[in-house]
Structure 1
Amino acid sequence: MSQIAIVAGPDPDGLGDALEAEGVTIHRITGVVSLSTLQEAGLDEADLLVLTDIGEASGIPVAKENTPEIRVVVYSPKNLPDFVKGQADLAVDPELLDVSVVAEELAAEN
């Protein structure tokens, strides 16, 4: 069964494309991350929430509250705000790990 990932943010490094190349179905949020945009992107069926914009970190607790089993991955060079650090499953700095490595690992964790 294929994984579904919601990629929220501008994704300048192409993690969404790399996940798609690994067989993950991608839904994107390019604007504000809110309950309604998460639901429109398929939150109920999603396995992953990939956040590339730390400014939208308030979407993490919203996603976790509504879909507790979703894995949250932050792919950004910026630090997560303290109020969400405990809710993210993985935070990766793009300068430390290439998108292909991250995508391969995330796709393998099904």
Structure 2
Amino acid sequence: MVIQYCSDLHLEFADNARYVSDHPIEPVGEVLILAGDITTLSLLDAHRAGPPFFKMLSKQFKRVFWICGNHEFYQSWDASVLDKPLYQAILPNVFLLNN
């Protein structure tokens, strides 16, 4: 199994979101690890920058694991109130986790 990773996309910024839209991630693996600072969870909740990006990845990879970095929680959820590890299916093969 080949695992691909990327991090620090910061899709909460319009220029970054536009760049990633114009230059999509090219799959070289079966599994993608999004290793933090992808977008804020508030944007995911609002169905803005996140969902189209994750739908695209869902079609390109067998599994996608998004592991929260520090920026995911900015202007959003308070990580200190999580009483258990975060594990949420965004799509059937795309999972949000915290470390």
- Scaled by the length of structure 2, what TM-score is found? 0.44
- Scaled by the length of structure 1, what TM-score is found? 0.41
